[in-house]
Every structure is written in structure tokens, then in C-alpha cells.
Amino acid sequence: MAQSHSTGAKAPYHLAAPSPWPIIGAISAFVLAYGFVVMLHPDLFGKGAEPFFKALGPWKVLIGLGMVLFTMFGWWRQVIKESMTPGLHTPVVRLGLRYAMVLFIASEVMFFVAFFWAYFHFSLYPEHTAGGVWPPKDITTFDPWDLPFLNTLILLTSGATVTWAHHSLIEGNRKGLIWGLVLTVLLGAAFTALQAYEYSHAAFGFKENVYSSVFFMATGFHGFHVLVGTIFLLVCLVRAIKGQFTPQRHFGFEAAAWYWHFVDVVWLFLFAVIYVAGEGPVSLPGHGPWSS
């Protein structure tokens, strides 16, 4: 079962080398969570400490966020180096990475199920909403066939371009791989920009009622996932330019493509359920090319 010593691996399965990143990541996550708690409850340690925490301003969260980003950069850079070390990412290790990515995406599915559950609960039983109707009578919803539809087309197109990039990689077409990734990253950035523009023109705020809370939580977390996926693909683009992917070994890119297709599918459900099925009697026109 043992591998040759010349490969640097003594077994086909993964043995993690001693690394400081797990403890650094745990501390960073704690600092970030602590910062959020103190931001929401500055009087947590009494009225005497409240002025101090308020004086910290956004630094309560930014310090922890910076530590988490530093951990992600360092840890994932180490994983990339491992993937390029001959003998370390054996077939068994690569299979384990695939299982891990599948389980991660499954956990993300359940994350969004919670928001859909909340939405369906109140839409099917709207007794506790304003006027007993859904959407609540004081909510002016977005026109789904304006800016949201444009964003849908953008994401669907990005799904096609990342598939093009994947097929180009398998066929050894490095130029197609790079251009497919460039287009996907640009489309992801366009989606994020348009969603931010949409938010700035919303006729309701986050704390207005249950509809506004579910809307911003579901679409906002999806937007965050698009941002993460765009960064994921941008890193893949840099690696592709450096020639670090081959038709036989490219799971880093494959995982990014899986994640991007997951983001596409979630948006289709959000568009169909929240924007189309949840459209109110009076919709707020967007500011896209089809605005009246």
C-alpha cells in the first residue's frame, strides 16, 4: 500500500502535514463571530463597556474578516502547492476531494432550503402578514421581467461559458480555457453589480416585515455566493494562465465549475419562486433595458 519514497507520499490516502492554519482559522472565526455579536449588542458587557465597543466602529468586524481572509489565502495556497507536488494527490486523495466538494455543496443546498422554507411558510399561510395576503399589502415587489430577468440571462450565459472553459481544458485547448474563464468572471462581476443596483432601488428595507427580511437574506446570500464563486474562478483563471491545469489533473477548476453551476441553479429557484411566483399586484419597474 505504501508509495515510493521518491514521490513524497507513504500512503495512497491523505495524511495532513503539520500546519498552523487550523488553529489560526479557528481563532479568526471566533474573532469574526465575536465582532458581529458585539456589533449587534454593544451593551453585552454592560453599559460601561458600550461606549468602547461603539467607538471601534466597523473595526469590530473588519479585524476578524481580515483574519479569515488571510487564513483562506494561506491555507488554500498550501493546498495548491500540495496538488502540484508529485505523488501527494493520489487517485484516492482526488476521490476524497470530490466527495468533500459534493458534501459541501449538499450543505449549501440545505442552507438555502432554510430561506425557501421560511418563504413558503409565510406565503402559504399569510395570516401573520399585513392584510393577511402575500406579498404583504405594504410591499411593492420588483418586476421580475426587468432587471431580475436580465440577471437570469447573465447567470445562464456564465454557466455556458464555464462549461466551454471546462471542455476546452479537457481537449487541451488552453486559449479556450482562458477565454471561457475570463468571460465567466466578467459575467459574475456584472451580476453582482446589477444586483447591488437593484438593491439600491428597492422600495422596502431589510427590517420592514418578514417578506423583506426573507427577500434580502435569500437573494443577498446568493449574491455573496456569486461573489465567492467569482473569486474562486478568478483564482482558477490565474492558475490557468500559469499552466497549472492539465486535461488529466484539474480538480481545482472542476470544483469551481461545480460550485458555479450550483449558484446558477439556486438563482433559477429564487427567480421562479420569489420574483415570478411572489410578484405582487403592483411591481416596481427596474432600470434595465426593458424598463417602461
Residue 61 shares a structural domain with residue 204: no
Q: In total, how many domains does the chain have?
A: 2
What local confidence, expressed as pLDDT, does residue 19 receive? 86
What local confidence, expressed as pLDDT, does residue 149 receive? 96
Residue 96 shares a structural domain with residue 84: no
Residue 42 shares a structural domain with residue 132: no
With H, G, I as helix, E, B as strand and everything else as coil, classify residue 18.
coil
Indicate the pTM of the whole model: 0.83
Q: Mean pLDDT per segment of 10 residues, for the chain of length 292 residues?
A: 46 74 94 86 74 78 92 89 78 87 96 94 81 82 92 97 96 95 97 94 84 92 95 95 89 94 96 90 56 46
Say which residues have a Cβ less than 8 Å from residue 58's Cβ, sequence separation at least 6.
Answer: none
Residue 169 shares a structural domain with residue 288: yes
Residue 184 shares a structural domain with residue 103: yes
What local confidence, expressed as pLDDT, does residue 163 receive? 96
Residue entry with cell 483562506: 72
72: domain CATH number is 1.10.287.70
Say which residues have a Cβ less than 8 Å from residue 149's Cβ, sequence separation at least 6.
Answer: 271, 288, 290
Residue 280 shares a structural domain with residue 292: yes
Q: Which domain holds residue 27?
A: 1-89
291: domain CATH number is 1.20.120.80
Residue 39 shares a structural domain with residue 148: no
User: HEC states along 178-215?
Assistant: HHHHHHHHHHHHHHHHHHHHHHHCCCCCCCCCHHHHHH
What local confidence, expressed as pLDDT, does residue 107 receive? 96
**Cβ contact 16:100 at 8 Å:** no
Residue 83 shares a structural domain with residue 98: no
Residue ending a domain, choose from 89, 112, 142:
89
Residue 85 shares a structural domain with residue 98: no
Backbone dihedral region for residue 16 (phi beyond 0: left; psi -120 to 50: alpha; all else: beta): beta
Residue 55 shares a structural domain with residue 134: no
Residue 44 shares a structural domain with residue 6: yes
What local confidence, expressed as pLDDT, does residue 138 receive? 80
Residue 38 shares a structural domain with residue 139: no
